[in-house]
Amino acid sequence: MPLNIEKIRGDFPILQTQVHGKPLVYLDNAATTQKPQVVIDAVTDYYTTMNSNIHRGSHYLANLATEAHENARKTVQKFINAQYDHEVIFTRGTTESINLVAFSFGEAFIHPGDEVIVTELEHHSNFVPWQMLCERRNAHLRMVPMTKDGELDLEVYANLLNEKTRMVAFNHVSNSLGTINPAKKIIQMAHDAGAAVCVDAAQSIQHIDHDVRDLDADFYVFSGHKMYGPTGIGVLYGKEKWLDAIPPYQGGGDMIDQVTLEKTTYNKLPFKFEAGTPNIVGPIGLAAAIDYLNSLPFDEIMAYEDNLLEYGRGLLQNIDGLTLYGNAKKRTSILAFNIKGIHHYDVGTLLDTQGVAVRTGHHCTQLIMKALGVSGTVRPAIALYNTKEELDTFEAALHKVKKMLGK
């Protein structure tokens, strides 16, 4: 049966908001998604019925909270098809997950003269940590360029891979262009060269299929708030062999086994990488978001969002002076554009006066903006609760923006 979009929209209370007297059209989903009532209820329920620190308590509330937290880890494991639940590490978000891998993997496996490969499509959070690692370890950072259509140049990538390559880091979906990168092929090529791989799934986890074992990803990272969950919670999946082989990222409580003046030994996985009191409610809210997504037919979500994306592209292509960015053969969710003679920030500000929420700027992808020859773009991004009627409203609002500015 097709998705019941009106019912889905009713699950997200914020979508009933009025902005400047107009119904909210929320198209800033690549920055963060809205939350269904079940997620809000899960967070509230934790604070009202089981609020306690976890793992070391011996009382009723501590046991409740610990069980809910660790059940959330199992929920994530099943959602991404990890082999073990201890391969799921909870972090603050995608950025912390990548920094953890860059630091800990770097400490163990990156030496002077080694090479790390990133791509021109990366968010700064999947570029700067690797750059910092290379500076710290006297290694070399290499970059796979993108084509004019916003796809990775895999011929250049193949030529960059060599016996010195230790890590390849790339995003599954570009947050600025919506390009769906051929993750499985990129990973296989890296493995054939003897390199490990870290996949940034922040923009893919909610839009396309995700199976870490099918991809054969070594590390796979994402954030809860991009997939209808709370902010401040992220996931690092790592193959057991890698998580065992790399040192902890932070020291503190819960990540230790034995502490003496002479030496500290570390806790077993996953706690080795979860120092201090965690964001206990974050995984609980994330699990509620996953349960919500699992209640819907994911193939129908993908088809619906693909249809919306192409409908939106068709609308924008009819606007004089508008340039669309990102023409990859495989793409999802993102409608990035500029209008000739109008600054992207002005477009976003004037759209807001009409109740339409979009993101403007360089989207933490200055490498992409430089390649496009622009300072930034307007970036509407769709989610499963958006509609064609909202995109029609968005198009009409753009025409008003042009008229207001005499363009």
Q: Is-contact 365 124, C-beta < 8 A? A: yes
- Nearest Cα neighbor of 64 from 75, 74, 54 is 54
Q: Name the one residue in this structure whose structure tokens are 């062999």.
A: 241
CA pair distance 234, 163, nearest whole angstrom: 32
Task: Find the radius of gyration of the CA atoms of the chain.
Answer: 22
Query: Rounded to 5 degrees, what are φ and ψ at 22?
Result: -125, 150
Q: For residue 93, what are the CA distances in angstroms to 68, 238, 263?
A: 20, 15, 30
Please give the structure tokens belonging to residue 262. Answer: 């002479």
Q: What does DSSP say about strands 25-26 and 88-91: parallel, antiparallel, or unpaired?
A: unpaired
Quick one: residue 74, left, alpha or beta (phi over 0 = left, psi -120 to 50 = alpha)?
alpha
Burial class (CB in 10 A: 0-12, 13-18, 19+), 311: middle
Q: Dihedral (C-alpha) 286, 213, 202, 292: value to the nearest 10 degrees?
A: -30
| Contact of 382 with 207, CB cutoff 8 Å | no
Q: Find where tokens 């929920």 sit.
A: 75
Residue 89, helix vs strand vs coil: strand
- In the block, which residue shows the tokens 């995608």? 94
Tokens matching residue 221: 């990272």
The sign of the dihedral angle between the CA atoms of 72, 78, 82, 86 is: positive
Residue of 323, 320, 316, 397 lying closest to 356 (CA atoms): 397
Q: In residues, how long is the chain?
A: 407
Direct distance between the N- and C-terminal alpha carbons of the chain, in angstroms, rounded to an integer = 44
Count CB atoms within 10 A of the CB of residue 374: 15
Burial of 317 (0-12, 13-18, 19+ CB in 10 A): exposed
Residues identified as active-site: 364
